[in-house]
């Protein structure tokens, strides 16, 4: 059974800092891994999708890496802004199933 | 406590037919969300109910998709008529409604829709 863990559960940083969010999964037989952000009371917003054959994806200030063999992914946020405050979720897709992580709640302090 | 359930788990239909997907959220959860993942692409938001009202339906792809949540309990997502590009996995999620928001969304197992 796939288990997805995100550490830390919560993170508070001053504006402008670079930061890294972590996602670990127990079964490396995945098709892809996706990062989302969740704003209070809203649906999930897709940030980045990494296919199992890829090592990383970049979008603006975001960079996500994937190391399938070690069961880890990181989401790097450069020059954080107060608008980045949200909960960040990772989700891994395996055979006929998507498993979501526990989430990291990020607060960027102006 | 039962989690979010979805029915059916898998549906195979022909192009032009109609399919109705059902989602039963966790009891007491006023927020209900629909998402879908089409083949090879990322999971994307479709719409959000708060009780029986549509809070945000900005992700609905076109008017062939109709979502309802009568009585604020279970929700249905109807695709009529289905097209080949509608194939994918449709996820439902629910969460409690609170003043501060930001509650964790609990996801169902998804319905895999195949349009041939």
Distance CA B64, CA A97 (A): 26
Place of tokens 């089409």: B38
Distance, C-alpha B61 to centroid of its chain: 13
Determine the average pLDDT of the residues in A87-109: 87
A54 touches chain B (CB under 8 A): no
Residues B16 and B115 sit within 8 Å (Cβ to Cβ)? no
Q: Is the pLDDT of residue A79 over 80?
A: yes
The reply to whether residue B48 touches residue A42, judged by beta carbons under 8 angstroms, is: yes
Query: Helix, strand or coil for residue A17?
Result: coil
Query: What are the tens digits of pLDDT across the range A10-38?
Result: 999 999 999 999 999 999 999 889 999 98
Q: Tell the burial category of B17 from Cβ atoms under 10 Å away from its Cβ (0-12, 13-18, 19+).
A: middle
Alpha carbon of A87: minimum distance to chain B alpha carbons (Å) = 8
Question: pLDDT-based confidence at B100, cuts 50/70/90?
Answer: very low
CB pairs under 8 A between A and B: 54
Alpha carbon of B16: minimum distance to chain A alpha carbons (Å) = 25
The reply to whether residue A40 touches residue B41, judged by beta carbons under 8 angstroms, is: no
| Helix H or strand E segment including B6 | strand B5-7
């Amino acid at each position: 059974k796939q288990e997805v863990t995100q550490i830390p559960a919560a993170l508070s940083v001053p504006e402008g800092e670079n930061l890294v969010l972590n996602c670990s999964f127990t079964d490396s037989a995945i098709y892809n891994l996706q990062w989302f952000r969740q704003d209070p009371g809203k649906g999930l917003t897709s940030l980045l999708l990494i296919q199992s054959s890829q090592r990383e994806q970049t979008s603006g200030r975001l960079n996500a890496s994937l190391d399938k063999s070690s069961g880890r992914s990181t989401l790097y946020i450069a020059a954080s802004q107060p608008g980045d405050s949200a909960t960040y979720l990772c989700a891994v897709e395996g055979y006929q199933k998507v498993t979501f992580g526990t989430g990291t709640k990020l607060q960027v302090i102006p | 406590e039962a989690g979010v359930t979805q029915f059916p788990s898998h549906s195979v239909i022909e192009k032009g037919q109609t399919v109705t997907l059902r989602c039963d959220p966790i009891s007491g959860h006023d927020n209900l969300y629909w998402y879908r993942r089409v083949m090879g692409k990322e999971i994307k938001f479709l719409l959000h109910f708060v009780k029986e009202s549509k809070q945000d339906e900005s992700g609905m792809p076109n008017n062939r998709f109709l979502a309802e949540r009568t009585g604020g309990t279970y929700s249905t997502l109807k695709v009529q008529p289905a097209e080949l590009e509608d194939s994918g996995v449709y996820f439902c999620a629910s969460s409690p409604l609170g003043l501060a928001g930001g509650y964790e969304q609990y996801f169902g197992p998804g319905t895999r829709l195949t349009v041939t």
